[in-house]
Amino acid sequence: LGAGPGAPTALVYGHFDVQPVDPVELWEHPPFAAAVAVRDGEEVMVARGASDDKGAGVLPALQGVEAVLQETGSLPINIKFMVEGMEEIGSP
């Protein structure tokens, strides 16, 4: 999506993978179940990958681009979207 070759480019990045399970004995809680843990004196829900990106920033960015296009008909910059599923293992 873009404004042309002379305009700056922004990259919107998101990933949807989680940490590998192995070695399973190093997990504080079972990797395939949610648990209640105490962190900094407060009870919190923890689960493998629950608070990581998971592409959550991509949809609002797409909606923002859509809103700008609806309002103005064009973008002032070029925008590239990258969403991947192998970030936690090094993005081969």
Catalytic residues: 17, 87
SS3 76: coil
Residue type, 38: V
Helices of type H across 1-92: 58-72
Angstrom CA distances, 63 to 41, 52, 58, 75, stand at 37, 21, 9, 13
